[in-house]
Chain A
């Protein structure tokens, strides 16, 4: 695991560092760092740099900022539970103290508890970080699954890097409520896999909200959904267009990266000239190129749907050719075949435990994929891609852990819990904010009535930023979607 941890740390520092000091980035709702530079530094030439007209400068774009505000919470101490910290520890009879929406202390029974906090007796229960689903289509493929709300695939062109999943999310999707009852506190919502470049992902806090902005995870980096394999070539080959083959797919990626590198260069040249006070005509802003250039600048994380080991190896070479990093392969059903390579490259693999053989590229799926990756020190994430599995990612992880046990690969719960918490957090670029129980992290927590790796486990209470957002035993904390009012069952599902 050591190899992965340091690699991931480096990767996340790289991503965060570049995000924080993006001076030339052309992607995303970039912080206007260039403007700050302009203020702080002396103007090179006599004239103040004239800002571009509103909307023509990607760096100055206001984007669609998060309006998320944590729900009310009180300083609380959870006492007596078996705590899986997702930092590698299992603490019996543990204490976790939460204040101001953050974890302030975690430890054994002797951990000091401030006098003024609410004590929650969790004896006999288990406490874990909130579950993070790194591959969700909630909101973009909501329930009910009718064509009027089928907003996950802009299947009109193999490259739609310009579309953003957040503009397809229907916040009233009842699936969010089901996932929350399964302990899911954070989700990466991805566009579908019809296209080589599907568009930007969005990271959401799983809180009920009237707007998508109200769910957006503050300061989470964007991801770019890419897809290998059968889906793009089937969709476009079926229309008599490229790509219709695997080699057509690869051509499509490379062509786009060449265009993106050129676009980034033109903006860099423009800004350099502008800085020098030279006359320069700005390139026209291009939303597709802006996203791709954001990847090349390290600001946007590549989330790459890719089943087959050989195709993963090809994608790694493409990334090297153009100088970007693949953060995670999704549906990485064959990653076990190249586990040492993935460990070396520091690329996570997101997988299921159970699904196999539903299409050719999934024919070699085995339940021990995660265990073999883990044994090789590669990063493992258990994901859902599914509104049902997302409700029980704990059990999907349990199956993956058990598949290891069957092969003699003994994986402690303290490790396997990372597959649905700390590792997806890292792979979504929010590992410094959530995903583990350690001081300073968000108090995104789940109290389970049993060992969370049991089939009988249920999330009893779920917290985001220290606020109770779901309580299995208290109807006041079981939010319902507007859609479900007046319908059979009234949105109650358990």
Chain B
């Protein structure tokens, strides 16, 4: 019964063309991110875009009114680096497309792997996430499950068992998706960055040492330059041998031209310095992810103008490259002037953790506005989407979340999620399981009939 109601409302929502509905969200605290909070105001959505934001905004005639009941309206949260849509069940190899073997390196394009029907898009929306950068990992590198040996994830993710062989030097090319239910194509942009790892993961990919990793990365970037400059000669076999394939070199051209960034996963302070040095020397744009010891080199990161993606939960010396991990890493980086984006958990399909991680960063000293920006406008800027997403501004795409309380608080949840001005259904697979099992049914039939 509950489920059929849910499905009916979902069907209605999907039936509406994206541009049709005019919505006025009233009685809300508005957090525009790009400007100061409006304690009580109205936000109007028209033609899929934000048409008005303010304290004294009239409700347009014919608009559907959503009463926020004193709750909070934020831009849809943006996951700065996830595997959403590219991996379903991390322990089931066949459902994972977020990394590749050594046949491809920089050229691996995760956008082709995105599954708009992933059952975890709805779960992410339930955490207020409306878009995500989807970033390849080095094959066999689950991206942080190192401590969870007991549940077997680590063993299942470990290289060698999956038959992928050695991990490639570069992870591949990142994409950006928007979590539109029912859409046939959710990829907003592709080839947005090439991922690479320094430190222990990078060393593994390079045969065992950081020293080899950085030499091979430099060599690859120089090869890409030579390849771009001598394309005709390459086709005739008149160039020296390059370390990477034609496809991988091609993918690195926008990086060496400074058009798209290298997303560098790095933890140790010394490795962060190497990353900054590489960026300066090669004149490339970089984004740093992980950055557990970033607080030790915060001023240098700030000076280089490099944005970072951090997980504020990281406070364990989980490896020899994260010995200095601290809960106030995000706060210290922000205080030093670094542009900080906050990630959810990449593993366990737990993007809902993103907003809680922002709350944790606040508890450990990050100013509240910076924490909200770290899950909205900062990732939008990092991924080149800030002209459309990341703040509540007139003319931006209406990816908007209505919360029943503080969006960073454990006891709050989104009451309405809009993507492109369309209210999203609340009928995720998890919602349907809940509806089925919360019901007490005396019919004598098993739950499969509910």
Give A residues with C-beta under 8 Å from B: 137, 141, 143-146, 150, 152-153, 174-175, 178, 190, 192-194, 230-231, 234-235, 238, 305, 331, 336-337, 339, 354-360, 362-368, 372, 375, 385-388, 391-392, 395, 398-399, 401-402, 405-407, 409, 453-458, 483-484, 487-489, 492-494
B293 at the A interface (CB under 8 A): yes
Contact B430 A366, beta carbon cutoff 8 Å:
yes
Take A178-B316, A493-B327 as given contacts and tell me if A355 and B348 are in contact as well, using a CB distance cutoff of 8 Å: yes
Closest to A339 in B: B437
Additional A-B contact list (20), CB under 8 Å, known A385-B151, A395-B356 = A141-B150, A144-B323, A193-B151, A235-B155, A359-B89, A359-B153, A363-B89, A365-B430, A385-B148, A386-B148, A387-B318, A398-B410, A399-B356, A409-B438, A455-B359, A455-B360, A455-B363, A456-B359, A456-B362, A488-B269
Contact B313 A458, beta carbon cutoff 8 Å:
no
- How far is B356's CA from A483's CA once the two chains are assembled, in angstroms? 30
- Give a binary string over B427-450; 1 marks a CB under 8 Å from any A CB, 0 the rest: 000100110011000000001000
- A474 CB, nearest partner CB in chain B, Å: 17
Could you give 8 example pairs across A and B, Cβ below 8 Å? A231-B152, A355-B348, A358-B91, A362-B151, A365-B430, A372-B437, A483-B317, A488-B269
B6 at the A interface (CB under 8 A): no
- A444 CB, nearest partner CB in chain B, Å: 23
Which residues from chain A contact B364 at a C-beta distance below 8 Å? 494
B84-100 contacts to A, CB under 8 A, are: 88-92
- How far is B353's CA from A363's CA once the two chains are assembled, in angstroms? 18
B123 at the A interface (CB under 8 A): yes
B408 at the A interface (CB under 8 A): yes
B347 at the A interface (CB under 8 A): yes
Which residues from chain A contact B360 at a C-beta distance below 8 Å? 392, 455
Which residues from chain B contact A358 at a C-beta distance below 8 Å? 89-91, 151, 153, 347-349
Contact A366 B433, beta carbon cutoff 8 Å:
yes
Contact A402 B296, beta carbon cutoff 8 Å:
no
Q: Which of B123, B147, B447 contacts A145 (CB 8 A)?
A: B147
- How far is B324's CA from A492's CA once the two chains are assembled, in angstroms? 8
Closest to A413 in B: B411
- Give a binary string over B320-331; 1 marks a CB under 8 Å from any A CB, 0 the rest: 101111111000
- Give a binary string over B385-414; 1 marks a CB under 8 Å from any A CB, 0 the rest: 000000000000000000000001111110
Q: Which of A174, A388, A455, A494 contacts B326 (CB 8 A)?
A: A494
Contact B352 A354, beta carbon cutoff 8 Å:
yes
Contact A137 B313, beta carbon cutoff 8 Å:
no
Which residues from chain A contact B89 at a C-beta distance below 8 Å? 357-360, 363
Q: Which of B120, B149, B269, B411 contacts A405 (CB 8 A)?
A: B411
Which residues from chain B contact A363 at a C-beta distance below 8 Å? 89
- How far is B180's CA from A111's CA once the two chains are assembled, in angstroms? 57
Contact B411 A489, beta carbon cutoff 8 Å:
no
- A22 CB, nearest partner CB in chain B, Å: 30
B156 at the A interface (CB under 8 A): yes
B60 at the A interface (CB under 8 A): no
Contact B147 A386, beta carbon cutoff 8 Å:
yes
B177-229 contacts to A, CB under 8 A, are: none
Contact A402 B150, beta carbon cutoff 8 Å:
no
- How far is B119's CA from A235's CA once the two chains are assembled, in angstroms? 28
- How far is B408's CA from A360's CA once the two chains are assembled, in angstroms? 30
Take A144-B319, A358-B89, A455-B360 as given contacts and tell me if A152 and B150 are in contact as well, using a CB distance cutoff of 8 Å: yes
Contact B356 A367, beta carbon cutoff 8 Å:
no
Closest to A371 in B: B438
B315 at the A interface (CB under 8 A): yes
Which residues from chain A contact B409 at a C-beta distance below 8 Å? 454-456
Which residues from chain B contact A364 at a C-beta distance below 8 Å? 433
B146 at the A interface (CB under 8 A): yes
Take A356-B348, A357-B89, A398-B411 as given contacts and tell me if A193 and B147 are in contact as well, using a CB distance cutoff of 8 Å: no
Contact A359 B148, beta carbon cutoff 8 Å:
no
Take A137-B149, A357-B88 as given contacts and tell me if A488 and B437 are in contact as well, using a CB distance cutoff of 8 Å: no
Closest to B144 in A: A388
Which residues from chain A contact B413 at a C-beta distance below 8 Å? 402, 406
Q: Which of A336, A398, A457 contacts B363 (CB 8 A)?
A: A457
B115 at the A interface (CB under 8 A): no
- How far is B162's CA from A238's CA once the two chains are assembled, in angstroms? 12
- B374 CB, nearest partner CB in chain A, Å: 14
Contact A487 B438, beta carbon cutoff 8 Å:
no
Take A360-B92, A456-B359 as given contacts and tell me if A152 and B119 are in contact as well, using a CB distance cutoff of 8 Å: no
Which residues from chain A contact B119 at a C-beta distance below 8 Å? 357
Which residues from chain A contact B148 at a C-beta distance below 8 Å? 385-386
- A300 CB, nearest partner CB in chain B, Å: 20
Which residues from chain A contact B152 at a C-beta distance below 8 Å? 193-194, 230-231, 234, 359
B8-51 contacts to A, CB under 8 A, are: none
Which residues from chain A contact B345 at a C-beta distance below 8 Å? 354
- How far is B148's CA from A306's CA once the two chains are assembled, in angstroms? 16
- How far is B17's CA from A44's CA once the two chains are assembled, in angstroms? 91
Take A359-B92, A360-B89, A457-B363 as given contacts and tell me if A385 and B323 are in contact as well, using a CB distance cutoff of 8 Å: no
The 3 A-B residue pairs with the shortest CB-CB distance, nearest first, are: A359-B91, A455-B359, A488-B324
Contact A456 B363, beta carbon cutoff 8 Å:
yes
Q: Which of A145, A152, A360, A402 contacts B411 (CB 8 A)?
A: A402
Contact A366 B363, beta carbon cutoff 8 Å:
no
Most chain B beta-carbon neighbours within 10 Å: one of A356, A385, A488? A488
Closest to B433 in A: A366
B274 at the A interface (CB under 8 A): no
Q: Which of B350, B410, B438 contacts A395 (CB 8 A)?
A: B410
Which residues from chain A contact B408 at a C-beta distance below 8 Å? 455
- How far is B151's CA from A230's CA once the two chains are assembled, in angstroms? 9
- A408 CB, nearest partner CB in chain B, Å: 8
Closest to A193 in B: B150
Q: Which of B91, B147, B353 contacts A354 (CB 8 A)?
A: B353
Take A357-B119, A407-B434 as given contacts and tell me if A494 and B327 are in contact as well, using a CB distance cutoff of 8 Å: yes
Which residues from chain B contact A235 at a C-beta distance below 8 Å? 155
- A410 CB, nearest partner CB in chain B, Å: 12
- How far is B123's CA from A194's CA once the two chains are assembled, in angstroms? 30
Which residues from chain A contact B325 at a C-beta distance below 8 Å? 489, 493
